[in-house]
Structure 1
Amino acid sequence: MGDGDEELVRRWEREQECLKQRLVEEDTEAWQKNPNFSGLHRVGGVDLSFIKGDEVSACAQLVVLSYPDMELLYECSEMVTLSAPYIAGFLAFREAPPLLQLLQRLEREQPSLMPQVLFVDGNGLFHYREFGLACHLGVLSDLPCVGVAKNLLQVQGVAKTDEHLSQISALKKAGDTFPLTAASGRTLGQALRSSNSSTKPIYVSVGHRISLDTAVHLTHSCCRYRVPEPIRQADMRSREYLRTHFPPTSSE
């Protein structure tokens, strides 16, 4: 890491600390307090997909689905150029700006379709400094946000140990969970078995304006397969956009 990067990291750390002051880790909406999430009608999902071999050009994707039916209400795919470098622990500074722009465009053009909660393909509180992409995007958009990761971030004393693997094998049915507890003793998220057909859990953590329990129950209620439908749809549609507009060459 050069001097320029070190200066950038210091600036990002300060910015992250400022944003973290605004983070809300509890339920703020009436629908969150209802056992059936009555009053929740629109759930959003965001994702970025990259062209193979290109770390700068990506397709930023936003989808909004109806709840609880998971019917598509809105989608937007946009090619973006990521200008910030990738530095571990600061992914949000690279990925949040284009995703935020998609949300701002929706708010301008079709405000009635704004999601009431946003699922983010990445971590929230379950992060090196307890402020991952889902927290960053949540605070900047001021939307309730849930971070859902497909792979375990080995952070704050949480690791793929034998104990972790035995906890996974103890998840017998969809809806079963176990806590992701940091070395400090703080619970930063939950591993969730999201479907009976998949034995691999997903890792759910608070992004903003939602409690962990609500985040886990809501995530489970949005899963038809292993990954919650808003994120699955965003991922599928961004990949499809890249396949259509940037087909792989025959030499690949």
Structure 2
Amino acid sequence: MSAPPAEDLLEEWKSEQERLRQQVVEVDTEDWQRKPDFSGLQRVGGMDLSFIKGDDFNACAQLVVLSYPDLKLLYEDSQMVTLTAPYVAGFLAFRETPFLLEALQRLRMKQPNLLPQVVFVDGNGLFHYREFGLACHLGVLSGLPCVGVAKNLLQVQGVHKSEEHQAQIAALQKGGDSFPLTAASGKVLGKALRSSDSSSKPVYVSVGHRISLDTAVRLTHSCCRYRVPEPIRQADCRSREYLRKHFPAADACTKE
């Protein structure tokens, strides 16, 4: 494991997050986002990184593009990358975003007609220590609408795994039900969503860029066949399959 980054680097990262945070657009910007059935949306993207167990630096960066609404695979890109920045809670984007942007750029160059109209990221957006998680970072730098969907609750800004939180989860009766994740300041940073009837464990949805929270939640639910929305699930499955194929002696794992 590498040594933690110097304090001056963390301060530089914080300043960069604060600067880019000013560019986040938290409202719907596309016509399809305002349609009840998302008419006009044809391509949804999913991005993820998968690691070889015991190796924190070599990873498979994955991009998938699926058709909407039938969620059929249109494009995939699997690329082994070497991460140079260490993992630091709250600064995941500085470790992963460069490789996700490269995958989008390869698609822009090879098949621009398949560029996704919205990207799902396995991580948080505004639901973050400084309201600028991976989905925001990727959204602002790519210019694409982006949604953050996390599998685990980030306990931040007064949101905790309290008895009240567990009671709210228990009250989610069916797929599509949700409740707000409200910071101590009173600002709603995201929503916990029961993504399918068959899964009682929620996912945590937050705005990345160029989409409203209500639309992000509604779109996430529409893309769920299982607990995790299909663009992220496909990115995760395909990146792990790539690692199994090329590194058969190693166990593939993904970050939570």
Could you state the TM-score of these two structures normalised by the residue count of structure 2? 0.96
Letter in 1 for 2:151: K
Q: Which residue in the other structure is 2:246 paired with?
A: 245
Q: How does 1:225-244 map to 2 (within 5 A)?
A: 225-244=226-245
Taking only aligned residues, the RMSD between alpha carbons, in angstroms, comes to 1.4
Change (3 A) 1:43 1:2: closer
Change (3 A) 1:59 1:26: same
1:43-85: per-residue Cα shift (whole Å, max 9, x none)? 0000000000000000000000000000000000000000011
Change (3 A) 1:148 1:135: same
Letter in 2 for 1:51: I
* CA distance in 2: counterparts of 1:45 and 1:33, whole angstroms: 21
Residue 192 of structure 1: CA displacement? 0.4
Letter in 2 for 1:241: Y
Q: Which residue in the other structure is 2:215 paired with?
A: 214
Change (3 A) 1:244 1:182: same
Is contact 2:139-2:146 (8 Å) kept? yes
Q: Which residue in the other structure is 1:12 paired with?
A: 13
Change (3 A) 1:163 1:83: same
* CA distance in 2: counterparts of 1:13 and 1:203, whole angstroms: 23
Q: Which residue in the other structure is 2:27 paired with?
A: 26
Q: Which residue in the other structure is 2:76 paired with?
A: 75
Q: Which residue in the other structure is 1:65 paired with?
A: 66
* CA distance in 2: counterparts of 1:4 and 1:52, whole angstroms: 23
What secondary structure is seen at the aligned counterpart in 2 of 1:226?
A: coil
1:133-172: per-residue Cα shift (whole Å, max 9, x none)? 0000000000000000000000000010000000000001
Q: Which residue in the other structure is 2:254 paired with?
A: none
* CA distance in 1: counterparts of 2:102 and 2:4, whole angstroms: 30
* CA distance in 2: counterparts of 1:85 and 1:8, whole angstroms: 11
Q: Which residue in the other structure is 1:223 paired with?
A: 224
Q: How does 1:1-252 map to 2 (within 5 A)?
A: 5-248=6-249
* CA distance in 1: counterparts of 2:192 and 2:155, whole angstroms: 13
* CA distance in 2: counterparts of 1:161 and 1:152, whole angstroms: 11
Is contact 2:179-2:192 (8 Å) kept? yes
* CA distance in 2: counterparts of 1:109 and 1:40, whole angstroms: 21
* CA distance in 2: counterparts of 1:61 and 1:84, whole angstroms: 18
Change (3 A) 1:77 1:28: same
* CA distance in 1: counterparts of 2:242 and 2:132, whole angstroms: 30
What secondary structure is seen at the aligned counterpart in 1 of 2:53?
A: coil
Gap runs ≥5 in structure 1: none
* CA distance in 1: counterparts of 2:94 and 2:238, whole angstroms: 23
* CA distance in 2: counterparts of 1:249 and 1:220, whole angstroms: 34
Could you state the TM-score of these two structures normalised by the residue count of structure 1? 0.97
Change (3 A) 1:218 1:249: closer
- Identity fraction in percent: 75
* CA distance in 2: counterparts of 1:85 and 1:194, whole angstroms: 32
Residue 3 of structure 1: CA displacement? 9.2
* CA distance in 2: counterparts of 1:4 and 1:116, whole angstroms: 35
* CA distance in 1: counterparts of 2:168 and 2:88, whole angstroms: 31
Aligned pairs, how many?
250
After the TM superposition, list the runs of 4 or more consecutive aligned residues in structure 1 that deviate by more than 3 angstroms: 1-4
Residue 2 of structure 1: CA displacement? 7.5
Q: Please, which moves more after superposition, 129-138 or 81-90? A: 81-90
Residue 92 of structure 1: CA displacement? 0.4
Residue 248 of structure 1: CA displacement? 2.3
Change (3 A) 1:207 1:249: closer
